[in-house]
Amino acid sequence: MAKPKTVYECIECGKVHPKWNGQCSGCGAWNTLEEAIGTVASVKGGGSYSPVRTQNLADISYDDDVRINTGTGELNRVLGGGLVVGSVVLLSGEPGIGKSTLLLQICRDISGSVLYVTGEESSRQIKIRADRLGVDGENLQIAQSTDMLAIIAAIENPQSKPDVVIIDSIQTMRLDTISSTQGSVTQVRECTNALIAVAKSLEIPIILVGHVNKDGGIAGPKVLEHIVDTVLYFEGDRRLSYRILRAVKNRFGSTNEIGVFEMRDKGLREVENPSAMLLSGRPTGVSGISVLCTMEGTRPILAEVQALATKSGFTSPRRVANGFDYNRLCLILAVLEKRMGLFFGACDVYVNIVGGLTISEPAADLAIALALYSALCDITIPEKLACFGEIGLGGEIRNVGNTQERVRECERMGFTPLIGCSNLAEVFTAVGSAENIKKE
Ligand code: TYD
Ligand code: MG
């Protein structure tokens, strides 16, 4: 029998240490080691085991994933077409962003019965919120508990067997069989493992709410992200009303899709036309602004790019990229300088993708370049012009995928897509102010 032994586990990365230490050797964080009970397994002892059954790949059959319609189009889209039965989904985001609101709200339209386990709020608070959201709760059972074994018993109860389970939040759950404190890595991980086993054996989907810590990671273990099937992030600026739901891991679908919501006084409203939302309030007649057509998964979206170039007071000028890759910004600045004679060397440069979007596709290059050109030369880009295209090191414009979809979205929104230019010089001519380019 393996002997239980006290070990120390890092609450950030989950690395196990035989002795306590001030700093974790796994992730370098300080004061993150916590006591945990481990077992020192002996591989030499020749213990008992049950033989592993092997199967020829050709003999393994499967049915298509069975999915439950959540009744919320934007959530279905991010999940890849609905909740897969037997899957465990982690929904994480900052406190107050709207995780509980989203999950309670889907209970209104979801097909099937739901067990909503609340470890954070009282049943009364949930009821007040449900009334605000217009959730009548015919199909909804609320359980106020943090005791994992009792919750699992409730899920397995054949009389109330729910079709979907929501756990709000996983950090408040505890297994009494484990001595670690509530919210510790060991507790969170073991509770999740127990729920995964239940989800797989009963073939029901379980949604876990996970908090993010101040660094933006899911509190406690990164390991949580590895063991669940799908990880969704709910993000947005809390001062603004819109929220973006994004899959960062999805075993049953793509991770490119985003869902857009707007927080209203009666809950979250789906935004089916994100382009209109992202472009609303766009200033006109101002330099440094261009419109980008980007693909978020299968959906083309128009977004506003803003750039500012100001005289620098620093020895090495600042470059700040918000929602865009910093190195890619430096590359575009270098191409503009070398190929187009636009000198940013004495300027601080700030680039911002409006609306909290993060763009990683190279198709954004052209809009960034146009916004920078417009900011430096103080000219305005025609208001109804949208662009997309990758910029090569020679200043050439390279083709990007999904041209047809992008052009269609531009036209639908009443924008003219800037297409058919083979290099930056042609683009600047097309924009109509090529003569303003400053040569050294
Ligand atoms: P909540 O779902 O409790 O956040 P989380 O579970 O992620 O911590 O959302 C809380 C915020 O949402 C709170 O600041 C109030 C706001 N809210 C609305 O604006 N409208 C609504 O209809 C509801 C229910 C909440
Ligand atoms: Mg909550």
Over 70: is that where the pLDDT of 1 sits? no
The ligand with the least distance to the CA atom of 97 is: 1
In the chain, DSSP finds a helix count (H) and a strand count (E) of 11, 22
CA distances to 73, 243, 371 from 413, rounded to whole Å, are 21, 21, 20
Query: What percent of the chain has pLDDT above 70?
Result: 92
- Rounded to the nearest integer, the mean pLDDT of the chain is 87
State the pLDDT at residue 222.
Answer: 65
| Contact yes or no for 171/210 (Cβ under 8 A) | yes
Tell me how far the alpha carbon of residue 122 lies from the centroid of ligand 1, in angstroms.
15
Residue closest via CA to ligand 1's atom 18 equals 265
Q: Which of 101, 108, 207, 234 to mutate to test the pocket of ligand 1 (most atoms within 8 A of CB)?
A: 101
**Which ligand gives the minimal distance to the CA of 120?**
2
By most ligand atoms within 8 Å of CB, the mutation choice from 117, 241, 263 for ligand 1 is: 263
CA-101 nearest atom, ligand 1: 2
Residue 310: pLDDT above 50? yes
Question: Ligand 1: which atom is nearest the Cα of residue 102?
Answer: 2
For residue 94, the ligand 1 atom closest to its alpha carbon is 7
pLDDT value of residue 294 = 93
| pLDDT at site 255 | 81
Cβ(5)–Cβ(39) below 8 Å:
yes
What is the CA(199)–ligand 2 centre distance, in A?
A: 22
Judge whether 386 and 438 are in contact, CB under 8 Å. no
Cα 346 to Cα 67, 351, 384: the distances in Å are: 56, 16, 31
Q: What is the pLDDT of residue 114?
A: 94
Q: Which ligand is nearest to the CA of 242?
A: 1
- Nearest CA to 302 out of 329, 259, 273 is that of 273
> Per-residue pLDDT averaged across 145-151, rounded?
94
Residues framing ligand 1 (Cβ under 6 A): 93, 95-101, 129, 132-133, 263, 265-267
**Ligand 2 centroid from CA 104, angstroms:** 10
**Above 90 in pLDDT, residue 407?**
yes
The alpha-helical segments, DSSP class H, found in 17-165 are 73-79, 99-109, 123-133, 148-156
Q: Which atom of ligand 1 is nearest to the CA of 241?
A: 19
For the stretch 54-82, pLDDT in tens is 888 888 877 777 899 999 999 999 999 99
For the ranges 6-15, 122-131, 225-234, 283-292, the lowest mean pLDDT is seen at 6-15
CA torsion through residues 224, 225, 229, 231, sign: positive
Ordered DSSP codes for 413-433: TT-EEE-S--BHHHHHHHHT-
The DSSP output letter for 54 is P
What pLDDT band is residue 46 in, cutting at 50, 70 and 90? Answer: low
Give the ligand 1 atom nearest the CA of 95.
8
* Atom number in ligand 1 closest to CA 263: 19
When pLDDT is averaged across residues 375-386 and rounded to a whole number, the result is: 92
Strand 267-270 and strand 289-296: the pairing is unpaired
Instruction: Encode burial over 382-405: b for 16+ CB neighbours within 10 A, e otherwise.
Output: eeebbbbbebeeebbbeebebeee
pLDDT mean over 207-231: 76
Residue bearing the CA closest to ligand 1, atom 15: 96
Q: Which residues pair with 319 in a beta bridge?
A: 349
pLDDT in the model for residue 137:
81
AA identity, residue 317: P
In this predicted structure, what is the pLDDT of residue 38? 60
For residues 172 and 356, which has the higher predicted lDDT (pLDDT)? 172
Overall average pLDDT of the 266-286 stretch: 88
- Ligand 1 centroid to Cα of residue 129, in Å, is 9
pLDDT band at residue 41 using 50, 70 and 90 as cut-offs: very low
Over residues 412-440, the pLDDT tens digits come to: 889 999 988 999 999 998 887 444 444 43
CA of 229 to the centre of ligand 1 (A): 26
- pLDDT band of residue 48 (cuts 50, 70, 90) is low
The pLDDT value given to residue 199: 94
Contacts of 173 (CB under 8 A, 6+ apart): 119, 146, 148, 151, 167, 182, 187, 188, 191
Between helices 185-202 and 148-156, what is the axis angle to 10°? 10
Predicted confidence band of residue 40 (pLDDT cuts 50, 70, 90): very low
Give the Å distance between the CA of 116 and the centre of ligand 2.
12
Q: What is the mean pLDDT of residues 173-196?
A: 87
- For residue 285, the model assigns a pLDDT of 87
